[in-house]
Chains A and B, each alone.
Chain A
């Protein structure tokens, strides 16, 4: 059974800092992994989808990596801004085609 864990649960950084959010999964036989952003009380916004055959994916200041052998994915945010403050969720597809979510990392970027 696929389980997804995100550490830390909360992170506070000063504006301009580069940061890394971590996501680990128990079943290395994943079928793609997706990172989302969720603002308070809102739905999820898709950030990046990494296919199981890829090692990384980039969009603007965001870079996500995937290491299936170690069961880890990271989301790198460069030059963080206060507008990046949100909860970041990773989700891994299991064999049945369902997305399994982690608990999220609540990021606060201080001006």
Chain B
């Protein structure tokens, strides 16, 4: 079983609130990723990090931001949540390049 954890699993929040989705892994992986997935749709990469203090935007534009201060921790923040941010957010990690990716259980975010 993969040692990558996301909290919270479910979050319902009002428009305009600031939120942080947590992602932690205990495998010592250097690369970490955030994907966004709408119901019944494919996963889209929104952020990735190749190591501490390294973050890049993914292929899908997102108003969220990320940070990577510690190897094991890759939080995602929305400064002002909007209904259009309602989605499932999935965190993943890999060791090095092109290796097996492990995913967390996801955070299902609903903005009302």
B43 close to A49 (CB less than 8 A): no
Tell me the minimal C-beta distance from A46 to chain B in angstroms. Answer: 6
Query: B63 at interface (Cβ–Cβ under 8 A)?
Result: no
Write the nearest CB–CB distance from B81 to chain A, whole angstroms: 20
Task: Give the segment of A17-25, A29-37, A67-75, A76-84 that binds chain B.
Answer: A29-37
Contact assessment for B106 and A34 in the assembled complex, using a CB-CB cutoff below 8 Å:
no
B64 interface residue per 8 A CB criterion: no
B42:A102 contact, CB within 8 angstroms: yes
Chain B, interface size category, equals: 20 to 34
A42/B105 in contact, CB under 8 A: yes
**Residues on A with beta carbons closer than 8 Å to the beta carbon of B99:** 32, 49
* Total interface residues in chain A, CB < 8 Å: 22
Pairwise interchain contact B48-A43, C-beta atoms closer than 8 A: no
User: Contact partner of B101 among A42, A46, A103, A104, CB < 8 A?
Assistant: A46
B109 adjacent to chain A (CB < 8 Å):
no
| A97, chain B: closest CB distance, angstroms | 4
Please report the C-alpha to C-alpha distance between residue A99 and residue B104 in the assembled complex, in whole angstroms: 15
Q: Is the CB of A46 within 8 A of B100?
A: yes
Ordered nearest first, which 8 A-B pairs have the shortest CB separation?
A44-B103, A43-B105, A43-B103, A97-B97, A31-B98, A101-B43, A49-B100, A43-B106
Q: Can you identify 18 A-B contacts, CB atoms within 8 angstroms?
A: A31-B98, A32-B98, A34-B101, A42-B105, A46-B100, A46-B101, A49-B100, A89-B43, A91-B101, A93-B97, A93-B98, A98-B33, A98-B58, A99-B33, A99-B92, A99-B101, A101-B43, A103-B41
